[in-house]
Amino acid sequence: MLTRILSNDFPRSRVLAVLLVLLLIALAGAPFIFPGVKALNVAAKVLVFVVLVASFDLLLGYTGIVSFAHTMFFGIGAYGIAVATTRLGPTWEALAVGVFASLALSFVLALLVGLFSLRVRAIFFAMITLAVASAFLTLASQLSDITGGEDGLSFKVPEILSPSFEFMDEPFLGVMLDGRLLCYYLLFALALVLLLALLRIVNSPFGRVLQAIRENEFRAEAIGYRVVVYRTTSSILSALFACMAGAMLALWLRYNGPDTSLSFEIMMDVLLIVVIGGMGTIYGSAIGAALFLVAQSYLQDLLRWGSEAAAALPWLASLLSPDRWLLWLGVLFVLSVYYFPTGVVGRLRASAAGAKS
């Protein structure tokens, strides 16, 4: 009902609706349903990547813009929190300053990149954004007085969000009610609000114009839409949401460095998640992020179990070695693209449409 009120966007598939509800319940109850530090970290990372991937899908899936600078804005958000709390102390005021400063910087950079680069065609724009992202990564690595250089910055958060702050002396349902738990639910609330905001954007008249530009840029311009303005606006909105995702990551980790938020590997993960979930479907960012990050986090454990079970067959045990988890992750990705060429959400919606017809 909340999604209907805010976005008027329906899953259009019963299976997809069930998956989304189960994912929402799993993330909402993760600290109690999946106890343990690792499980909570995976759930928090899923929340962060849902926002990050959805913001990138606004660019790629809805506007048809291929940008490799997306993690730059992700890193700006993370560095905004890290630098502000390092300089101003672990206060709410410092967090606010970090968020607003990083949003302002992201706005300016996204505007400049949009105005100077969006007039060029696809591959040339992608190369320009890649160059800008690489330059920013180098800059963050070298400005050690501000960013901590290659070592990054470790910082403290307000005490109420730290693991040492306990609301109760005794566990509740086997879980300690501490600042870490509060921090997780703060991320959960932020992710939910930001995702609903993105759903509202893509289902608004503005979002429909973006899709028209994606389908046929020349036709959209011929009927009176200023394509450069819409594409630049889309780039700015996408950058601001990515910046918020970076702030969420830094708040959870209480650390940020170049490899944590600016690495090209993160950009590749985002691209993979968009493809797995389904381009042009905000719901796909949630499904794709959950599938990819759970597989990435637990595939080694599953392979270790399989390798031990196949100890009697040395060749099979070797094939299932945990050291080969990247190989199997690649195999899973190839299979997902083969069987779900339009992503999980696209395939489910197509199946539902076919059943109705």
**How many percent of the chain have pLDDT more than 90?**
36
Q: Indicate the pairing of strand 255-256 with strand 153-154.
A: antiparallel
213-265 tens-digit pLDDT: 888 888 888 888 888 888 889 999 999 999 999 999 999 999 999 988 888 88
Give CA angle at 230 (226, 232), nearest 5°.
Answer: 115
How many C-beta atoms surround the C-beta of residue 318 within 10 A? 12
d(CA 66, CA 140): 23
Residue indicated by tokens 């813009």: 65
Compute the distance between CA of residue 71 and CA of residue 97 in angstroms, rounded to an integer: 21
- How many residues are given for the chain? 357
Q: What average pLDDT does the chain have?
A: 86
143 secondary structure, DSSP code = -
pLDDT higher for 189 or 316?
Answer: 189
Looking at residue 250, its pLDDT comes to: 94
279 pLDDT above the threshold of 70: yes
**Three-state DSSP class for 249?**
helix
Q: Can you give the pLDDT at residue 5?
A: 46
For residue 288, is pLDDT > 50? yes
Higher pLDDT, 291 or 2: 291
Q: Per-residue pLDDT for 182 more than 60?
A: yes
Nearest alpha-carbon partner for 242 in 270, 208, 205:
270
CA-derived radius of gyration, the chain: 21
The whole-number average pLDDT for the span 338-348 is 83
Task: Read off the pLDDT of residues 16-59 as tens digits, 9 standing for 90 and up.
Answer: 889 999 999 999 988 988 888 889 999 999 999 999 999 999 99
Mean pLDDT of 198-206: 91
Q: Is the pLDDT of residue 121 over 70?
A: no
- The parent domain of residue 312 ranges over 2-165+174-356
For the cut 70, the answer to whether the pLDDT of residue 8 exceeds it is no
CB 262 within 8 A of CB 71: yes
Q: 163 vs 41, 91, 186, 234, CA distance in Å? A: 13, 16, 14, 38
pLDDT value, residue 3: 46
Q: pLDDT grade, residue 320 (50/70/90)?
A: confident
DSSP 174: T
Flag whether pLDDT at 4 surpasses 70.
no
User: DSSP states of 280-309 as a string?
Assistant: T-HHHHHHHHHHHHHHHHHHHHHHHHHHHH
Alpha helix (H) ranges present in 68-216? 70-88, 92-117, 122-142, 144-147, 179-202, 205-215
According to the model, what pLDDT value does residue 148 have? 87
Cα–Cα distance for residue pair 304/348, rounded to 1 Å: 32
- Cα distance between residue 137 and residue 132, in whole Å: 9
Predicted pLDDT at 118: 60
- For the cut 70, the answer to whether the pLDDT of residue 1 exceeds it is no
Give me the pLDDT at residue 310, please: 80
Interhelix angle for 14-28 vs 282-309, to 10°? Answer: 70
Q: Give residue 122's pLDDT.
A: 65
Average pLDDT over residues 85-96: 92
Highest mean pLDDT among 132-141, 182-191, 335-344: 182-191
Instruction: State the pLDDT at residue 95.
Output: 94
Q: What is the mean pLDDT of residues 146-158?
A: 89
Q: Residue 342's domain is classified under what CATH number? A: 1.10.3470
Q: What is the mean pLDDT of residues 124-129?
A: 81
Backbone φ and ψ for 65, nearest 5 degrees, come out as: -100, 125
Tell me the pTM. Answer: 0.92
Q: Is the pLDDT of residue 6 over 60?
A: no
pLDDT of residue 338: 80
DSSP 121: -
Q: How many domains does one find in the chain?
A: 1
